[in-house]
Amino acid sequence: MSPLLHSAKADRLDVLGDLLNGFVSVTTRAVIDEIGRNHVDARTAVVNASWISVVNGDSLELLVAFSTWSERMGLTDDHNVGETTLCAYAEVNGGTLVLDDRAARKVAERHGLTVRGTVGLIADACRRGRCTVTNASVLVDDLHDTGMRLPFPRGGFESWAREKKLLG
């Protein structure tokens, strides 16, 4: 949810889509609903983004997987419902999850799902030649300005990514 929400809030959803060009990008109705709960404009932007497909989550197979992931995530209320639906979808259909919530990432990785964070995804795009490090830094600073929690201060993307050896 975080990359979609913060990219929409920064009016940079199109840039995120460009970085993911060539990949199939899906989200769940629960993620859309979570975004819309407090950010109606962001929800509208995500729903209208042509590069994002909202997948149906009511098949029996996905509902069973959701039940399993609800237990794994310790789901007791509506917090992390979006992340839980994404984990269930990824378990059933494969793919790489983009999650920034640290606890959700740990649970997903512990149970064998492939997970990437937003800034790792952006660093990957730099390595693939989809954007320059300078442009990535501007994007990440824009995400920071929306309140996105990042593992470094504003202006720190490049040094962080180099320290983590994410830029090649």
Please give the distance of CA 126 from its chain centroid, rounded to a whole number: 17
Neighbours of 16 (CB within 10 A): 25
Provide the pLDDT for residue 76: 77
Region of 135 (left: φ > 0; alpha: ψ -120 to 50; beta: rest) is: alpha
C-alpha span between 30 and 155 (Å, rounded): 32
The answer to whether 58 touches 85, Cβ cutoff 8 Å, is no
- Beta strand pairing call for 25-28 and 52-55: parallel
- Each of the 168 residues of the chain gets a pLDDT tens digit; together they read 689 999 999 999 999 999 999 899 999 999 999 999 889 999 999 999 999 999 988 899 999 999 999 999 988 777 789 999 999 999 999 999 999 999 999 999 999 999 999 999 999 999 999 999 999 999 999 999 999 999 999 999 999 999 999 998
Which fold would CATH assign to domain 2-118?
Rossmann fold (3.40.50)
Chain region(s) in the chain for CATH 3.40.50: 2-118
